[in-house]
Amino acid sequence: MGEETKRIVSLVRGRVQGVAFRYHTALKANQLGLEGWVRNNEDGSVQIEAQGQESSLNDLIGYIQKGPAHAKVDEVETKWIKDKESSGRFRIVR
């Protein structure tokens, strides 16, 4: 029997805009088979909502705590929330 579907919302602060953070997060999430989205917020943070198997979500959380090479992640807040209907592939929201 497979893992139950879970969902997270994460807020990432630091130097995370203008460094391809959304692109690399979407790439990683799609590699992990996750659904959801990533977007820049007006305050300079990046917000992520992702859904899928708990082990894949934990892998994504580990990834966003480091970020891509040019990013400098200062803080990540992650909450586990109620899962939603399938939203298809993980995407970048503008």
Domains and CATH numbers, the chain: 5-93 (3.30.70.100)
- Whether 22 is catalytic is yes
DSSP state of 9: E
Bridge partner residues of 80 (DSSP): 8
Q: Which of 62, 61, 49, 63 has its CA nearest to residue 92? A: 49
Q: What is the largest CA-CA distance in the chain?
A: 42
d(CA 21, CA 92): 10
pLDDT class of 2 with cuts at 50, 70, 90 = low
Q: What is the pLDDT of residues 23-60, one digit of tens each?
A: 999 999 999 999 999 999 999 999 999 999 999 999 99
Residue 3 near residue 53 (C-beta atoms within 8 A): yes
pLDDT of residue 1: 46
pLDDT of residue 92: 97
Lowest mean pLDDT segment, chosen from 3-7, 16-20, 28-32: 3-7
Q: Which residue is catalytic, options 39, 40, 58, 91? A: 40
